Amino acid sequence: DLKYPSLEVKKIKGTDSIWEARASKSLRITFNLKGNIIILRTIGGHKILNRP
């Protein structure tokens, strides 16, 4: 559920369609949404947000 509060889902600034979610304090997930389908891009530490 992307609306689950602890995931803190938000669109990545400067992108049209890349989103970020927090899986834990140190683990980030980037993804795209295509309708109701989530397409995972990268999973890793906070540094992945430099190159989503």
How many angstroms separate the most distant Cα atoms in the chain? Answer: 28
Domain boundaries, the chain: 5-50
Q: Are 46 and 28 in contact (CB under 8 A)?
A: yes
pLDDT given at position 15: 92
Q: What is the dihedral of CA 21, 24, 25, 30, to 10 degrees?
A: -30
State how far the Cα of 37 lies from the Cα of 51, in Å rounded to an integer: 22
In this prediction, residue 48 carries a pLDDT of: 84
Q: What pTM value is reported for the model?
A: 0.84
Terminal Cα distance for the chain, rounded: 21
Which residues in the chain come in under a pLDDT of 70?
Answer: none
